Structure 1
Amino acid sequence: MLALFVLYVVVEVAALVAVGSALGVLWTVVLLIGGSLIGSLLVRSQGRRVLDGLRRASRGERSAGGAVADGALFAAGSVAMFVPGLVTTVIGLLLLIPPTRWLLRPAVVWGAARWLPQVATATQRMRPTVIDGEIVVDRAAPADSASSAAGSTPVLEGQVIEVDRADRPAGDFRKPHR
C-alpha cells in the first residue's frame, strides 16, 4: 500500500512539473482549478443520470449490469475528482463523461462476472440452513415456562430440503439448529 502511495505521489509530481514547465505555473494552477470546477459540475449532472439509469434498471427498462457498471465507473470518477492532483483529475473527468463510461462498461461487466462468482461462493457458507416445516402443538408434552398459558409445547416438524454446510451431512438431525 505504501508503494502504491509513493507511486501516486511520484506520478502526480512528475505530471505537475511537466505541465508547469510546458505551460507555466499560472496556467497549471488555472488548469487544476478549472478541472475541479468542471468535475464538480459533472459529478452533479452525471450523478442524476446514473441514478435515473439505476431506477430504470430496477423497473426492468434497462439492463441491470449496464446500470451498475455505470454506477461503479461514476463512483470511481467521483472519488478520483476529490483526490488531489492533475492525473487523478484527468482520470476522474474521463470516468465522468458518458462516452468513456460507454467504452469501459463492457470491461466492467466482464470483470464483475469473473469476480462475483468467487464472492458468491465465499458468502454461501454464511447462509443459514433453511428447513421447510411448520409448528405443531404437542398436547401430550409437559408445559414449559414459555407456553404455560396455553398448556402445550410447540414442536417443529419438517424435512431438510438442502444442507449446504460442509460440517454437517444432509439428514443429520442430531446437531441443534440454533
Structure 2
Amino acid sequence: MWLFVAFLMVPLIEIALFIQIGGAIGLGWTLLIVVVTAVIGTMLVRAQGLQAMNQVKSSFNQMRDPSEALAHGAIILFSGALLLTPGFFTDAVGFALLVPGVRLAVFKWARSRVKVTSFGGPGFDNRPPQRDDNVIDGQYSEVSPEQQSSDGPSGWTKH
C-alpha cells in the first residue's frame, strides 16, 4: 500500500514544485536547474559509485562482510536514478542519499528491519573448505568416432 501512495504522491509533489518554482523564476531557469542538477548528480554518482566498488573489492579481498559496501553501492545507484528523474523533490532526495551519513543511516535502518540468519562460506567462517573423498580427479580427452574405430578397443570395454 505504501508503494502505491509513493507512486501517487511523488508526481503530485513534483508537479506542485514545478508550478511554484516555474512561476517564481520562469520556465527557462526551471528547466536549466533540472538539467544542471542531472549533470552534477551524474558526476557525483559516478565518483561515489567507483568508491563503493573499491570498498566492495576491498571487503572481498580482506574476506570481510561486504554487505555495508554493497548497500552503499545500491543506495548510490538508487540516488542516481532519482537524480536523472526530472524534478525538484527527487533531486533533493537523490542528493541527500549521496551524503555518506545519510546512506549510513539508511543502511542501519534497513539492517534493523532485515534478519540475516547466517553469513558464511569458505573463508568467511575461518574453516577450510570440506573435501569430498568420493570424488576422483582425472583428465580426459574426447575421442571422435573415426579415432575410436581405427585404434581398436580402448581397454575400457569388454568384447
Common topology (TM > 0.5): yes
What amino acid maps onto 1:70 in structure 2? H
Q: Report Cα offsets for 1:68-105 as digits up to 9, x if no partner.
A: 22112112112212223222122222212323213322
Instruction: Tell me by how many angstroms 1:55 deviates.
Output: 0.8
Report the CA distance shift for 1:66/1:4 in structure 2 as closer, same or farther (over 3 A).
Answer: closer
- The equivalent of 1:166 in structure 2 is none
What amino acid maps onto 2:73 in structure 1? G
Q: Could you state the TM-score of these two structures normalised by the residue count of structure 2? A: 0.62
**Kept in 1: contact 2:96–2:102 (CA 8 A):** yes
Instruction: Tell me by how many angstroms 1:37 deviates.
Output: 1.4
Matches within 5 A, 1:1-178: 5-60=7-62, 63-111=65-113, 113-114=114-115, 134=134, 149-151=156-158
Instruction: Tell me by how many angstroms 1:51 deviates.
Output: 0.4
What amino acid maps onto 1:60 in structure 2? Q
Q: Report Cα offsets for 1:1-21 as digits up to 9, x if no partner.
A: 776544332221012112223
RMSD: 3.0
Three-state SS of the structure 2 residue aligned to 1:16 is helix
Report the CA distance shift for 1:5/1:66 in structure 2 as closer, same or farther (over 3 A).
Answer: closer
Larger helix proportion, structure 1 or 2? Answer: 2
What amino acid maps onto 2:67 in structure 1? G
Regions of 4+ moved over 6 Å: none
What amino acid maps onto 1:56 in structure 2? S
**Kept in 2: contact 1:39–1:81 (CA 8 A):** yes
What amino acid maps onto 1:109 in structure 2? R
Percent of aligned positions with the same letter in both sequences? Answer: 24
Q: Report Cα offsets for 1:19-47 as digits up to 9, x if no partner.
A: 22343333322321221111011111111
| Aligned equivalents of 1:34, 1:63: Cα separation in 2 | 37
Q: Could you state the TM-score of these two structures normalised by the residue count of structure 1? A: 0.56
What amino acid maps onto 1:95 in structure 2? L
Larger strand proportion, structure 1 or 2? Answer: 1
| Aligned equivalents of 2:84, 2:35: Cα separation in 1 | 12
| Aligned equivalents of 1:61, 1:133: Cα separation in 2 | 27
**Please, which runs of 5 or more residues in structure 2 have no aligned partner?**
118-131, 136-155
